[in-house]
Chain A
């Protein structure tokens, strides 16, 4: 209804359109979308250009477009630069983006399903399980690799799923409520951590390898890791995004969700399985990167509001941008040495989040 009422007499009182506040309430937050895409583009270009060998920014931008199908551009990069770009920089950027998006989507899904703002991707013991899997591979020198997949990621993936399955099974035995699942996750995580610590203590010679994996690193990133993770991120991310409206429905509790026409059990089971798979796949190639899955959805919530209809899609973009940016810092601060990326995400992420939290003035609930 855009028939703007024209004041007839001299009184210049505009009659407000009755539908206006509703339309405003549902408008797409374009600024947030543009900012998120902008952050991602900046992070990608910076990450491609900066490193032990700096590449020209313009050439990097052209080479990125050139890497897309159907485009064939003259990038201006020499052969050595092209090799660095194609074999090192590009897979690393893509992998960082996939890991960041996976962890953020997983965190948003867990927070919604458990209606708990403290929920993060490692909630059901996925991190502890991955840690045990990776440690077992290193300590026992297991060769559980499969095709192009190295042994450590394979072991971590199996361990992560094992821990999550244990938590899920225990939680279902205990009635399947959110509280039961959370407690089962705590139990599962403690057990897997205990076994992992035991193994590590008994084999101090491999401590360094295990430790550096636990801290998170994209140092070994290549196209084979990208191929391993990409299907999970794409399919899992699509499923979480598809359920964004249902996460809003769950906010009124299971009984009301059912009376509104959503099946809370089906939503919960689907999203827990999807989020656990997303996390397991991500940590298996990157190690335990903390803070991303917890903080990225909250940061978005504090800026654009609490509806998952917006929080979920933006989480993927911002999570990718955040992790790509953190990787740039991890590679450059102590160059040529690398910081563990988990240290960087927490070091940048915590103060940044504290700032948003302080500015929210009670907007955080």
Chain B
């Protein structure tokens, strides 16, 4: 099974250390990376993906980043970026086929097997009807599913997601997270996701890691981390956690003061 270990993981910009973490993620887990803006969530994911220069060691099972070819790492760990580059005239099928890059030899063309994997992933995510559509005609929610499809087409065991719901409205947020949870369980994937919404993180993840200024401010189970005192100190603002039978932990920022945002939590 795919155990992910990161040891002495460190990113420096000049004299400033922007990330310094150590840890291990067990196979099949869903770990949510939390923390305020600029805490290093995206940097952490990029380090795991191998697209950010860093010190330290990242290992999945016995595959060590940097000592295997780029293609082998890419077929072990897949990243869904927060704002993927969208080549406008590209079709959905061509885009998802990019996920097969690591499996196709340097001078080779894609084979029937690669096209079949694309078809399977599109079918799995209910995107078959989009196969010939151009990316620039898709909505935010559709595009999110398409980038997820590209990541799944890599057949990687570890799926990294950078704020997978940031561009989506409330109903699509739940839809995408449920979809990720389903493929995680069906394929035994390990999911590491930077998340903004603490309530949703508590609902879907089984372990949480809170970063602040590039170091772990808190980590553990949902019960350990989703607590008013822990979150208040990590985010540097007052946070209240309510408990709801159906929703689990409901995290309310800035409680005590009137909250101007009209968004309602849940329907009657």
Contact = CB atoms under 8 A, between A and B. Distances in A.
Interface of A: 18-19, 21-26, 242, 245, 248-249, 251-253, 255-263, 301, 305-307, 309, 363, 365
Contact of A365 (B89, B92, B93, B154): B89
Nearest to B49: A259
B93 A242 contact: no
A240 to B, nearest CB: 12
Contacts of B122: 22
B71 interface: yes
Interface in B79-125: 79, 81, 84-85, 87-94, 97-99, 101-102, 104, 106-107, 109-110, 115, 118-119, 122-123
28 contacts: A18-B128, A19-B119, A22-B119, A25-B91, A25-B92, A25-B93, A25-B94, A26-B93, A26-B118, A245-B101, A245-B110, A248-B94, A248-B97, A248-B98, A249-B98, A255-B81, A256-B79, A258-B51, A258-B70, A259-B74, A260-B99, A260-B102, A261-B70, A261-B73, A261-B74, A262-B70, A306-B90, A365-B89
Contacts of B78: 259
A233 to B, nearest CB: 18
Closest 4 A/B residue pairs (Cβ):
A261-B102, A261-B74, A25-B93, A21-B131
A19 B115 CA distance: 10
A18 B116 CA distance: 12
B75 interface: yes
Query: Which of A242, A262, A363 has most B Cβ within 10 Å?
Result: A262
Contacts of A249: 98, 101
A305 B84 contact: no
B128 A252 contact: no
Interface in B50-79: 50-51, 70-75, 78-79
Contacts of B74: 258-261
Contact of B132 (A21, A301, A306): A21
B70 A22 contact: no
Interface residues of B, number: 46
A305 B91 contact: yes
Nearest to B46: A255
B129 to A, nearest CB: 6
Q: Which of A248, A255, A259, A363 has the most CB of B within 10 A?
A: A259
Contact of A256 (B85, B92, B109): B85
Contacts of A256: 51, 79, 81, 84-85
Contact of A252 (B84, B106, B136): B84
A190 to B, nearest CB: 31
Contacts of A22: 93, 115, 118-119, 122, 128, 131
Nearest to B123: A18
A253 B85 contact: yes
A259 B106 CA distance: 16
A252 B99 CA distance: 11
Nearest to B96: A22
B114 to A, nearest CB: 9
B90 to A, nearest CB: 6
Contact of A251 (B90, B92, B150): B90
B119 A245 contact: no
B119 A261 contact: no
B123 A261 contact: no
Nearest to B76: A261
Nearest to A252: B85
A71 B226 CA distance: 81
A19 B123 contact: yes
A259 B132 contact: no
A25 B91 CA distance: 8
Given A22-B118, A260-B99, A306-B89, A242 B70 contact: no
A18 B123 CA distance: 8
Nearest to B115: A26
B71 A261 contact: yes
Nearest to B131: A21
Contacts of B49: 259
Contacts of B90: 248, 251, 306-307
Interface string B121-145: 0110000111110001000000000
Contacts of B129: 21
Give the interface centre of B101, B107, B136 by most chain A CB atoms within 10 Å.
B101
Contact of B107 (A18, A19, A242): A242
A242 B106 contact: yes
Contacts of B104: 245
Contacts of B51: 255-256, 258-259
Given A22-B128, A256-B79, A260-B98, 15 more contacts: A21-B129, A21-B132, A23-B119, A24-B132, A242-B107, A245-B104, A245-B110, A248-B90, A248-B94, A253-B85, A256-B85, A261-B73, A261-B74, A263-B70, A301-B89
